[in-house]
Amino acid sequence: MKVLVTGGSGFLGLELCRRLTERGIATSSLARRPSTALERLGVRQHLGDLADAHAVSRAVAGCDAVIHNAALAGVSGPTRLYWATNVVGTRNVIEQCRTHQVRRLVHTSTASVAFRPGGLEGVAEDLPRPDGHLAAYPRSKAAAEALVLTAHSPELATVSLRPHIIWGPGDPHFAPALARAVRAGRLLMPGDGGNLVDTTHLRTAAHAHLLALDRLRQSPEAGGRAYFVSQDDPRPLREIAGHFLRAAGISARWCAVPPRLATAAAAVSDTCLRTVRSPRTLALSRFLVAELLQPHYFDLTAARRELSFEPPIGFEAGLAELTRTAPSAFEGSSKKGRTPCPKPTTPSVPS
C-alpha cells in the first residue's frame, strides 16, 4: 500500500508518517516546505499548496490511500485565508482521489466543528452542527468535513476524525501558547478554569487515524462517518494548564479574568481585526474565549464500537513524557515564568 499524508511535515503529520513507515508502508507527503525529519524517515516529499490542484494531483497519483491532515488552524482571521486551504484544498484532494482512483481517504477534522455557546458535554457525533461558528477556522473545517463525508462512495471510502487539543513532545500549539501567556508568574485566563476539557495526545491522534485507515480497507462501506477521538479523560482546564506549565518547569498562578470582561474584550478585538482586515490567525477572539470558558468533552462510543479505538497512552503517562522532553517542546519559554510576548495574554490555541 502507498499512502500520501498531506501536511506530513507538521506536528501530527510527522507522527503519522513515522507510524506508517514503521509498518513498512510506502509513505509520501505533500507540504509547502521540505522536512529533514521526513527525509530521515525515507518519506517521499512533494512540495506544493493544497489550493494548487496540479500540485495535489502530482502528490496523489499512484497512491492507494490519502490521510488528509493539512489545514490552516487558528482562532481569528478572515474567512478567505481558511477557505483557500481548508475548503478549496479539501475539495482538490477529493477530486484528485477520484481522478487517480484512490480508494480510501481519512480526513483530520476537529471537535471545534461541533462547538457552540454553552460548550460540549459528553456529546456524540449525532449532535447537529451549530447554526453558526464563532470563527472562520471551525466554519471552514465544518465545510471541509461535510465535503469529505458527502464524497463517500463505493469508489472512494471516506472517514473524518475529530481530535481535540492535540499535545505531546514537540507540541507547537497548546502547551507553548500557555507558556507564552505567563506574565511575572501569573497566567491570566478567562474564568476560574473549572470547565472540564478533554485533550488528545499525539500518539492517540495518530493511532486513531491508522485505525480508520485499516477500517476502510477491511470494510469500505463503514465510511461516511465522523468520529470524536480523545483521551476520554476530561479534566478542569486549570488543572491541565498547571500540568503543562509544570512540565516545562514554569511556576505560574492562575489569575481569573471575569468572563464578561474577557468576552467583551474579545468582541472588541474581533471587530477591530475585521475592520482593518487583519490576517492574524492567533489574536484574541470570541471563539478563543468561549473555548477557554466552556466545557468540551465527548462520547467516544462510536469510535470504540466501529474503529476499535482506545487511547494507546494515558494522560499521566503522556504528561511524564512531555516533562522529559520539555526543553525542546517549550522552546522560547522561561523557567522563571516570564516570557516576552505581545498581547493577548490568553493562549491562542486552535482546537
Point out which residues pair with 256 in neighbouring strands.
189
Q: What is the CA radius of gyration of the chain?
A: 19
Point out which residues pair with 227 in neighbouring strands.
161
Kindly state the DSSP code that residue 221 receives in the 8-state scheme.
G
Whether residue 299 contacts residue 122, with contact meaning beta carbons closer than 8 Å, is answered with: yes
Q: Is the peptide bond before 312 cis (omega within 30 degrees of 0)?
A: no
Cell of 184: 511575572
**HSE of 53, CA atoms in CB hemisphere, 13 A:** 11
CA–CA separation, 79 and 264 (whole Å): 22
Q: What is the torsion angle, in degrees rounded to the nearest 10, for the CA atoms of residue 49, residue 55, residue 56 and residue 61?
A: -150
Kindly state the DSSP code that residue 28 receives in the 8-state scheme.
E
Residue 137 a catalytic site member: yes
Cell of 155: 469508489
> One of 82, 137, 227, 297 is an active-site residue; which one?
137
Would you please indicate which residues are annotated as catalytic (active-site) residues? 137
